[in-house]
Structure 1
Amino acid sequence: MEEEKFRQILDRYIAGEATPEEEVWLESAYINLNSKELPVYTESFLAAETQQIWKMVQANTKPVRKIKLHPLFYAAAVLVVISLAGILIYNQNHPSSYLASLPPAKDIKAGKDRAILVLDNGKQIDLDQIDNGRLADQAGVKISKTADGQIVYEMPTQVAVDNKIAHNTIQTPAGGQYQVNLPDGTRVWLNASSSVTFATSFAAERRVKLKGEAYFEVSKISNEGRRVPFTVETENQKIEVLGTHFNVNAYIDEIATKTTLLEGSVKINDAVMLKPGQQARGNGETIKVLNVNAENFIDWKNGDFILEHNDFRSIMRKISRWYDVEVVYSDDAPKKLNLGGWISRSKNISSVLEVMEETGKVHFKIEGRRITVTR
Structure 2
Amino acid sequence: MSASVSTISDAIQAALATVNDPEIRRPITELGMVRAATVGDDGVVRVELLLTVAGCPLKDKLRADITAAVGGVPGVAGVEIEFGVMSPEQRQELQSKLRGGGGAEPVIPFAQPGSRTRVYAVASGKGGVGKSSVTVNLAAALAARGLSVGVVDADIYGHSVPRMLGAEGAPTRVEDMIMPPQAHGVKVISIGMFTPGNAAVVWRGPMLHRALQQFLADVYWGDLDVLLLDLPPGTGDIAISVAQLLPNAEILVVTTPQTAAAEVAERAGAIALQTHQRVVGVIENMSWMELPDGSRMEVFGAGGGQAVADSLSRTIGAQVPLLGQIPLDTRVREGGDAGLPIVLAQPDAAAAQAMGAVADRLAVRRESLLGKPLGLKPAGR
In which range does the TM-score fall when normalised by the shorter chain? under 0.3
Relative contact order (alpha carbons < 8 A, sep ≥ 6): 1 or 2 greater?
2
Q: TM-score, normalized by length of structure 2?
A: 0.26
TM-score by length of 1: 0.26
Higher-helix-fraction structure: 2
Q: Hey, which of these two has a bigger chunk of strand by percent?
A: 1
